[in-house]
Amino acid sequence: MNPRYAYTKPEMKLFELLKKHGINFTTQFPILIKKYKKYVYVDFLIENKLVVEVDGIKHFKSKARIKKDIIKDKALRAKGYSILRFSDKEIFENPENVIEKIIEKMKELNLFT
C-alpha cells in the first residue's frame, strides 16, 4: 500500500478482500494519459489490465465528479484497460458479490495464470 495516501475504509475493505482471495494488485497506480499530458491514479490495478475503482458518495452527487470519472474511464479504455467501479456501500453490504464480479472479469480477461 502507498504510505503517502490515506486509504478510505471501503478501499481498505477491498484491499483485504483481494488479499484474502490471492489476487495480486497494485494500489494508487499512476497511468499516463498522453492526450491530457497528465497521470491519473487508479484505486486498484490488477495484472496491469483491470482497473477497480471505489466510488464514495461524491462520485454520485457531483455532476463535475461524474463527468471527470466518465472522461477518466474513456481515456483508460482507450489505453486498453478494463474498468470496474463499486460504491462504498456495495463493498460493505455485499463484499462477496464484489469479489465475484472481479474474479468473473479476471476470467473474462484471462488474467489467471
The domains found in the chain, sorted by start residue, are 9-108 (3.40.960.10)
Binned at pLDDT 50, 70 and 90, residue 113 comes out as low
Q: Is the pLDDT of residue 39 over 80?
A: yes
Quick one: cell of 110? 484471462
Q: Sign (positive/negative) of CA torsion 1, 90, 109, 51? A: negative
Binned at pLDDT 50, 70 and 90, residue 55 comes out as confident
Which percentage of the chain shows pLDDT scores above 90? 70
Contact of 10 with 92, CB cutoff 8 Å: yes
Quick one: cell of 32? 499516463
Tell me which amino acid residue 44 is.
F
At 87, is the secondary structure helix, strand, or coil?
strand
